């Protein structure tokens, strides 16, 4: 009898040690967060704040390392890896997310958001929260949004109005909405890999591109495309997402902690974005760049037919809800 008790005690201790070691090993694992932008870029700073808060709020159970500068692949690549559970967290624009979640393409429609405040009222309201929740069936869980700033046109040639874009070759993301928008403005849309935009502008492969102020300056595009017009044709919300395969392994407490961390990181990122935009714009103007205010109504009128295109009819319900948001 004593021998049996001794054996059972040994087994219990062995299992306890093994289970405890497994927990320590699991807790010690450093998770990956994929980011395409370099260190110090506002979205990367938001990632770092999220990682810091996640570790703090889970008492070290969730440790995250941010891999910036596309170390883990393009935005399209990392979205696919997150779906498979290879990467735990990703920060991507809504544009590459369209390939796996077509509904979210509505955010790419031109001049959809009236302002930064309007965009955040939409994202924090029923529409934005619907899209975060609706990604779960495809293997992703939306934790929140980061501020994308507004996308604007910049060119190697004078740019003061919508008419100045006619006949120019404009680099766009491989997004059908962006392609159609540029066509409606009388320019030729030219999809080019983001890493190749500087050389394309420098060599004349394209006459211009479109992006936000921090990207225009931080990627040095302003050195070769000094004409910038603030038309704010798009605000493509940045998505902070987690692989559902990893998410399903977490406790309810840790899930809440990560959602809270994402919310606080968003507030921090918005503040950093606004500051960076002001600083980068001042830097560009100091270097002799010409920044013009756009006649927004002129641009809106030119691209209005895109809303009647049959391929975007499925967005009407969401466009109406967004327009109705104060």
- Residue 205, burial from CB neighbour count under 10 angstroms (0-12, 13-18, 19+): middle
Q: Over pLDDT 90: what percentage of the chain?
A: 85
pLDDT of residue 20 exceeding 80, the answer is no
Q: Supply 257's token pair.
A: 């902690």
Q: What is the pLDDT of residue 277?
A: 96
Cβ neighbors of 78 (< 8 A, separation 6 or more) are 34, 72, 87, 90, 92
Q: Which secondary-structure segment (H or E) carries 262?
A: helix 252-286
Closest CA to 239 of 53, 26, 6, 36: 36
pLDDT digits (tens, 9 = 90+) for 154-164: 999 999 999 99
Whether the predicted pLDDT of 22 surpasses 50 = no
Q: Distance (Å, rounded) from C-alpha 259 to C-alpha 272?
A: 20
Q: Quote the Cα angle for 192-198-202, to 5°.
A: 110
- Alpha carbon dihedral 176, 182, 184, 187, in 10-degree steps, equals -130
Q: Do 230 and 294 meet the contact criterion of CB atoms below 8 Å apart?
A: yes
Residues making up the chain, counted from first to last:
326
pLDDT digits (tens, 9 = 90+) for 71-89: 999 998 999 999 999 999 9
pLDDT tens per residue across span 104-128: 999 999 999 999 999 999 999 999 9
User: By the 8 A CB rule, do 208 and 185 touch?
Assistant: no
Report all structural domains of the chain as residue ranges with CATH numbers, in order of start: 2-148+236-277 (3.40.190.170), 151-235+279-324 (3.40.190.170)
> First-to-last CA distance in the chain?
77
**pLDDT of 174:** 83
How would you write 56-89 as a 3-class SS string? HHCCCCCEEEEECCCCCCCHHHHHHHHHHCCCCE
* 227-255 pLDDT, tens digit each: 999 999 999 999 999 999 999 999 999 99
């Amino acid at each position: 009898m004593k021998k049996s008790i001794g054996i059972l005690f040994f087994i219990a201790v062995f299992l306890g040690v093994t289970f405890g070691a497994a927990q320590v090993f699991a807790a010690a694992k450093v998770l990956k967060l994929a980011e395409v932008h370099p260190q110090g870029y506002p979205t990367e700073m938001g990632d770092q704040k999220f990682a810091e808060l996640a570790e703090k709020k889970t008492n070290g159970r969730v440790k995250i390392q941010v891999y910036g500068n596309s170390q883990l692949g393009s935005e399209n690549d990392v979205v696919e890896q997150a779906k498979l559970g290879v990467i735990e967290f990703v920060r991507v624009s809504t544009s590459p997310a369209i390939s796996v979640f077509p509904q979210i393409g509505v955010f790419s429609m031109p001049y959809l958001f009236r302002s930064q405040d309007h965009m955040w009222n939409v994202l924090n309201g029923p529409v934005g929260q619907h899209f975060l929740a609706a990604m779960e069936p495809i293997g992703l869980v939306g934790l929140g949004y980061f501020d994308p700033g507004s996308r604007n046109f910049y060119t190697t040639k004078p740019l003061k109005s919508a008419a100045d874009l006619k006949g120019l070759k404009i680099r766009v993301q491989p997004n059908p909405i962006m392609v159609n928008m540029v066509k409606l403005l009388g320019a030729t849309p030219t999809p080019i890999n983001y890493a190749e935009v500087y050389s394309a502008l420098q060599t004349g492969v394209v006459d211009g591109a479109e992006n936000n102020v921090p990207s225009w300056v931080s990627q040095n595009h302003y050195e070769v495309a000094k004409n910038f017009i603030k038309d704010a044709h798009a605000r493509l919300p940045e998505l902070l997402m987690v692989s559902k395969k990893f998410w399903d392994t977490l406790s309810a407490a840790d899930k809440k902690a990560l959602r809270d961390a994402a919310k606080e990181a968003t507030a921090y990122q918005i503040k950093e974005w606004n500051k960076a935009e002001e600083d980068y714009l001042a830097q560009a103007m100091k270097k002799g760049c010409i920044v013009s205010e756009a006649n927004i109504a002129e641009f809106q009128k030119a691209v209005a037919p895109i809303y009647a295109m049959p391929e975007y009819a499925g967005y009407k319900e969401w466009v109406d809800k967004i327009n109705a948001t104060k």
